[in-house]
Amino acid sequence: MGDRFVSRGFTGRRREPDGDRADRIPPGQYATDDFPVLSAGPTPRIPLDSWAFTVDGLVREPVTLSWAELIGLPSREWTVDISCVTKWTKLDTRWEGVSVDDLLAQVELDPRAHFAVARSYGGYTTNLPLADLVNGQAFVAYRFDGQPLEPAHGGPARLVVPRLYFWKSAKWVNGLRLTERDEPGFWESLGYHNRGDPWREQRYAGDE
Amino acid sequence: MPTPLTWQVATVDEIRPETAQVKTFTLRLPAWRAHKAGQHYDVRLTAQDGYQAQRSYSIASPPTRTGVVELTIERIADGEVSPYFHDVLVPGDEVEVRGPIGGYFVWEPDHGGPLLLIAGGSGVVPLMAMLRERAAARADIPTTLLASWRTIDDVIYRAELDALGGVADGLRVVHTLTRAQPPGWAGYARRIDGPMLADALAPLGTDPLVYICGPTLLVEAAANGLVEGGVSAARVRTERFGPTG
């Protein structure tokens, strides 16, 4: 094994912030103040009066929530760092919504449920271990930075799972299906990593 | 486990200016893999002290061009990686890359068409790979490229697009120049809008396969406009640029 590769003449702009903020940028990422939009297709428009969110799969009885019922659940604010596999990280993003714990409390989970597939208006899916969704780690957000979540950013509501790359934070989310086995979702079937932990730089299938 | 996409050290074969702010870098790969038009490569730069920066860049060359990939990169003034490519790299230099990456915003001749390709600025790069592959495959799939630029001098691949559009094989190349137009310009001179999309759709029928790549505002306008115009959302694939400095 040779020495590490060095790019001739590269010193780096090091746009990363200083101090402990720099320690919050995962490997291979850079900090941005923008909020880039990345989606595989057109932005769906979902009227709130027909919006619905269903928890099904390995549950005793599936449950469907209307928009009013979602808003009626206890909400809280989260301030979290988010990292997109396309290399940007945005620190201290402010969201408001309902924790996945509170959504799962609407159903009785089958003990065999160890994974979930989040699904969205528009047909998008992404898979997650249940362990990454519970205990206050994930939420369904309907407000960003004090405003209703814009459609381009996943409004009226999106899943947010800050501890994983942001493609796991399904925009336009409309359900969670609990499963026993891990079932790869949209990007996970197209060469992206099955779990997507930014701190382990799990970008693509086969990484780590 | 799937085969990991390992980093490899590519050699810069050629650097070709496209416009004042855009250059194409031909990289020779020791472990070249056939890509699909529309895919990208990740690039990683490493400083002497171990500091690294990564970015993703679309492949401009078609998979029929073996052994190398061409990355067409716009210089972002306050960027970190693109200025290095533009200002520092010379032929013979080495650069770490891995890929090809991406499996949805891709087109192969057996995907068929008709094809509507919509580009904003350097968003044309992955679409150019599709047009080059289409030409290499001698596929006469009815195709329209609708590309939005600020000025005529910003048009990437202008001569090649003129040449491709001049072959009577069903390809139409349409530019719109949003900021300034040369004397005698008879083409569009505004941002992409509903009537322009309707004109682009007219020869392609109601169910084209659509690829849109560019800045978010352009992609949103074009994708929403097409869906409002009756194109099925499932037929519209988008790639939106974040900051890719």
Taking the complete model, does pTM exceed 0.80, yes or no?
A: yes
Q: In chain B, whose CA is at the least distance from the CA of A38?
A: B240
The full DSSP string for B46-83 is E-TTS-EEEEEEEB-S-TTS-SEEEEEEEPPTT-SSHH
Partner-chain contact B50 A191, CB within 8 Å: no
The whole-number pLDDT of residue B208 equals: 96
Q: Residues of A with CB below 8 A from B219's CB?
A: 37
Partner-chain contact B79 A9, CB within 8 Å: no
**Dihedral angle, C-alpha A174, A178, A179, A185, nearest 10 °:** 20
Give the Cα separation of B69 and B63 in Å (integer): 8
Give the Cα separation of B40 and B101 in Å (integer): 5
Give the Cα separation of B117 and B111 in Å (integer): 14
Q: Please provide the average confidence, as pLDDT, over all residues in chain A.
A: 94
Partner-chain contact B96 A190, CB within 8 Å: no
CB-side exposure of A43: number of CA atoms within 13 Å?
24
Phi, psi of B228 (to 5 degrees): -65, -30
Quickly state the pLDDT bin for B243 (edges 50, 70, 90): very low
pLDDT (average), residues A179-203: 96
Please say if the pLDDT value at position A2 is more than 70: no
pLDDT (average), residues B16-39: 97
The whole-number pLDDT of residue A12 equals: 85
Please say if the pLDDT value at position B234 is more than 60: yes
Quickly state the pLDDT bin for A38 (edges 50, 70, 90): confident
Which DSSP letter does residue B37 get? B
Q: Residues of A with CB below 8 A from B224's CB?
A: 42-43
**B167 burial class (0-12, 13-18, 19+ CB within 10 angstroms)?**
exposed
pLDDT digits (tens, 9 = 90+) for B158-187: 999 999 999 889 999 999 999 999 999 999
pLDDT (average), residues B39-62: 95
pLDDT (average), residues B219-234: 94
pLDDT (average), residues B91-97: 98
Does the bond joining B100 to the residue before it have cis omega, within 30 degrees of 0?
Answer: yes
Please say if the pLDDT value at position B236 is more than 60: yes
Q: Residues of B with CB below 8 A from A7's CB?
A: 45-47, 84, 94-96
Quickly state the pLDDT bin for B54 (edges 50, 70, 90): very high
The whole-number pLDDT of residue A137 equals: 97
Please say if the pLDDT value at position B201 is more than 90: yes
Please say if the pLDDT value at position A1 is more than 50: no
CB B195 within 8 A of CB B165: no
Q: In percent, how much of chain A has pLDDT > 70?
A: 96
Count of C-beta atoms within a 10 Å radius of residue B188: 19
Q: Which residues pair with B215 in a beta bridge?
A: B241
The whole-number pLDDT of residue B139 equals: 85
ipTM over 0.90: no
How many Å from the N-terminal Cα to the C-terminal Cα in chain A?
A: 19
The full DSSP string for chain A is --PPP--TT------SPSHHHHTTS-TT-EE-SS-----SSPPP---GGG-EEEEEESBSS-EEEEHHHHHHS--EEEEEEEE-TTSEEEEEEEEEEEEHHHHHTTS-B-TT--EEEEEETTS-EEEEEGGGTTTTT-EEEEEETTEEPPGGGTTT-EEE-TTS-GGGS-TTEEEEEEESS----TGGGTTB-SS--GGGT--BTT--
With the C-alpha atoms ordered B123, B129, B135, B141, is the resulting torsion angle positive or negative?
negative
The whole-number pLDDT of residue B1 equals: 53
Give the Cα separation of B155 and B190 in Å (integer): 15
Give the Cα separation of B156 and B145 in Å (integer): 13
pLDDT digits (tens, 9 = 90+) for A39-81: 888 999 999 999 999 999 999 999 999 999 999 999 999 999 9
pLDDT digits (tens, 9 = 90+) for A104-151: 999 999 999 999 999 999 999 999 999 999 999 999 999 999 999 999
pLDDT (average), residues B218-226: 95
Choosing among A1, A3, A4, A5, which should be mutated to test the B contact, i.e. which has the most B CBs within 10 A? A5
Quickly state the pLDDT bin for B2 (edges 50, 70, 90): low
